[in-house]
């Protein structure tokens, strides 16, 4: 069974993107082994502490390396990538061996797909930024910029993302495409 690592771009417990990941897990749990990456303990990327590699970075790299595919679920913060997610990706873009760019990175050549839940913009900007960044990091991005979903204004007041049948159908198609390629 394929191993899919879910990365949530928000650390908020009731994140709409975590709620979407939970829906995707229901859809693909019989077809793939799902694991959620916990990375709140990562230090800020800083070359002064890069080697020896901090334990949290080593743990996260191993989880990424052990996966067959990565699904990123992310909100859009100020039209861009949330800081915690960018920090994670910055760490993952670094070489595994000090000053040896031929040693590769933990994320290079990994299959990745992107989904985002947000307001009426449907996370368009963050998905575009992620697409460009992931390509620069030499990952294999599936379905280009992925899909974005909008939640109602009421959702922001209740912390409940109610996904429509049309939303779920989009996610099912994305899941099918992603799983067929990993």
- In this structure, are residues 80 and 126 in contact, taking their beta carbons and an 8 Å threshold? yes
pLDDT digits 0-9 by tens, 160-172:
999 999 999 999 9
Judged by DSSP in three states, 82 sits in coil
* Residue 157 confidence (pLDDT) above 90: no
| 2 within 8 A of 32, measured Cβ to Cβ | yes
Look up the pTM and report it. Answer: 0.96
What is the average per-residue pLDDT within 139-163?
Answer: 93
pLDDT single digits (tens) 86-97: 999 999 999 999
| pLDDT in the model for residue 153 | 86
The string of pLDDT tens digits covering residues 20-46 is: 999 999 999 999 999 999 999 999 999
Q: Which domains does the chain have, with CATH numbers?
A: 2-181 (3.40.50.360)
Q: What are phi and psi of 23, to 5 degrees?
A: -65, -45
């Amino acid at each position: 069974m394929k191993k899919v690592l879910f990365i949530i771009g928000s650390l908020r417990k009731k994140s709409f993107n975590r709620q979407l990941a939970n829906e995707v897990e229901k859809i693909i749990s019989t077809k793939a082994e799902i694991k959620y990456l916990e990375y709140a303990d990562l230090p800020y990327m800083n070359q002064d502490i890069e080697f020896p590699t901090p334990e949290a970075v080593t743990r996260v790299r191993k989880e990424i390396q052990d996966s067959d595919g990565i699904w990123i679920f992310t909100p859009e913060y100020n039209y861009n990538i949330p800081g915690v997610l960018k920090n994670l990706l910055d760490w993952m873009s670094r070489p595994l061996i000090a000053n040896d760019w031929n040693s590769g990175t933990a994320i290079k050549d990994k299959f990745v797909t992107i989904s985002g839940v947000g307001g009426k913009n449907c996370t368009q900007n963050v998905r575009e930024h992620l697409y460009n960044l992931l390509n620069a990091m030499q990952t294999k991005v599936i379905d280009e910029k992925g899909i974005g979903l909008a939640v109602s204004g009421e959702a922001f007041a209740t912390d409940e993302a109610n996904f429509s049948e049309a939303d779920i159908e989009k996610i099912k198609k994305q899941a099918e495409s992603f799983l067929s390629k990993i």
